[in-house]
């Protein structure tokens, strides 16, 4: 069973695989629910030259396997 630090590390790796130009990943909330780690926060990545995009995200990870079972991003308003 993975601890919170390992879950955060794996979440960062997962998000960096989705976006090649990640500038920042900020975790705001992290908690356990049944057999899942649930991480919520914001990701900022570059689109072009000086333009960046900020999005909120929710990621759910199986505690035993480290597999991401749910991932969703939303634009920040």
Give the predicted TM-score (pTM) of the model: 0.90
Query: At 76, is the pLDDT very low, low, confident or very high (cuts 50, 70, 90)?
Result: confident
For residue 61, give the nearest of 17, 15, 7, 3 by alpha carbon: 7
> What CATH architecture applies to the domain 4-75?
Roll (3.10)
Q: Tell me what pLDDT residue 52 has.
A: 86
Q: Tell me what pLDDT residue 46 has.
A: 86
Show me where the domains of the chain are located. 4-75
For residue 6, give the nearest of 41, 24, 32 by alpha carbon: 32
pLDDT in tens, 12-69: 999 999 988 899 999 999 999 999 999 999 999 987 777 888 999 999 999 999 999 9
């Amino acid at each position: 069973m993975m601890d919170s630090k390992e879950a955060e590390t794996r979440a960062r790796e997962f998000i960096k695989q989705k976006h090649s130009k990640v500038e920042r990943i900020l975790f705001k909330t992290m908690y356990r629910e049944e057999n899942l780690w649930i991480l919520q926060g914001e990701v900022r990545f570059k689109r072009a030259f000086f333009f960046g995009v900020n999005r909120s995200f929710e990621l759910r990870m199986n505690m035993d396997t480290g597999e991401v079972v749910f991932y969703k991003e939303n634009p920040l308003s």
